[in-house]
Amino acid sequence: MVFEPMGEQAMQDWLRMSAGALGCGIGRGEIDPEALTDTYLAAIAAHPLRDRIYSAVTESRARAEAAAAAARARAGQRRGPLDGVPVSWKDLFDSAGVATEAGSALLKGRVPARDAEVLRNGTAAGLVCLGKTHMSELAFSGLGLNPVTATPPCVNNPDAVPGGSSSGAAASVAFDLAACGIGSDTGGSVRIPAAWNDLVGLKTTAGRVSCEGVVPLCARFDTVGPLARSVEDCALMLAALEGGKPADLRGVSLSGMRFAALQTVVMDDLREAPEAGYAAACARLRDAGAMIEEIEAPEVAEAMPLSSLLFAGEAYGLWRDEIEAAPEKMFAPIRERFRGGAAFSAADYVDGWRKLEGLRAAWHARVAGYDAVLMPSAPNLPPDHGRLMEDEEYYVTENLLTLRNTRVGNLMGLCAVTLPAGVPSCGLMLCGAPFGEERLLRVAAAAEAALGAA
């Protein structure tokens, strides 16, 4: 294979292509992985917001991986459909020889000796590592606000936060500085920044994708997932992260599909734009042949009060010693959110999980006959950065509201996808059964086609 020479404009167009399209171009000999990586690295270096998006740019690694991908392509030995495609990694994935600090001064100078398992898998699949992206401190906020390290930008509003905690992961894709971003989701940390930056975000089922070498927040809820430009990219990236085969998205159609539109909790206090975006998106699904039935699920309302106990209880248990050794190093609202976990006993925690497991069983029985459950990805738009820093009540209210809907998926142990709803910074969320990612991705691909239809 000999790669075709490309003009400057064509190379700039690469920055806006999906990961899957870039991989196909490499496979056809139309895109040289080395030229592609150089184009991304040049775009990162020239971007005025680069230092708010990337915590570290791994130029030497990226160029070496791109050269290896190019050699494999010439020899007809590509490792998979994304071999040679440049991506970013959230700064909680261990990367050998490069600082992994999880957005926190508590971990400043932490340099792992070994890549996280998902990064090793991605490298084995031929992904090119562009670098590490900024995030909310220790991943414990849905806003993406981080005055300790950096707050990445929101693509739709320069005065707003981008959503978190995978804030830089979303910004790297939305600002054309990576073909895909790899993030994590414990209570909404993939789906919120994806929704607020008009991307597709996949929350995987807890326990499906390895968290070995990933800085933890709540081990029983932590998940790994991509933020991308398409459902196809999410399917391809999931396979790369696992070392598996991607879901087959061919022949998908909404005709005859049956969706449950959850009403309990998630439709309360919706702001105007998310409400309008959600309604319009559901109308498009109906027009494409889907059946949508509104349902109530009392178990969701019963599960919500368990959030502080189960999330903050585990998070503080994991981080108490580090936090209390140097509490002054933390952004106060994040520190106090962690400390909220100190109020609960071990007996409270065990009983909370017992209750949640019963509520999960009720949920699964209720939604078993549906192809997916629908809800707005977020009830609100990205909040104002400056006001969050000055108004404590506004910060607390917006942070809790931001994660309310996405938390349903984590509490119920689901996989979930957010799709752009057609209104800036508004998402449509589809929730599927645990470990049902392949099925959910097929459903999401059909929904994506309906939402994108003229």
Q: Could you list the active site residues?
A: 90, 165, 189
Q: Rounded to whole angstroms, how far apart are CA atoms 281 and 447?
A: 9
If DSSP codes are grouped into helix, strand and coil, which group holds residue 328? helix
Residue located via tokens 């910074």 = 425
Q: Which DSSP state fits 93? A: B
Residue-by-residue DSSP string for 118-155: HHHHHHHTT-EEEEEE--SGGG--SS---SSS--PPBT
Single out the residue of 246, 247, 285 nearest to residue 373, CA to CA.
285
Residue located via tokens 């970013």 = 88
Instruction: Answer yes or no: are the C-beta atoms of 404 and 136 closer than 8 Å.
Output: no
φ, ψ of residue 109 to 5 degrees: the values are 85, 5
If DSSP codes are grouped into helix, strand and coil, which group holds residue 94? coil
Residue-by-residue DSSP string for 372-413: EEEEES-SSPPPBHHHHHH-HHHHHHHHHHHHHHHHHHHHTT
Q: Which residues of 197-212 are buried (b: 16+ CB within 10 A; e: fewer)?
A: bbbbbbbbbbebbbbe
In the chain, the amino acid numbered 295 is I
Q: Rounded to whole angstroms, how far apart are CA atoms 101 and 13?
A: 33
Q: Which runs of consecutive H residues, i.e. helices, occur in 228-371?
A: 231-242, 272-287, 298-303, 307, 313-325, 332-339, 346-367
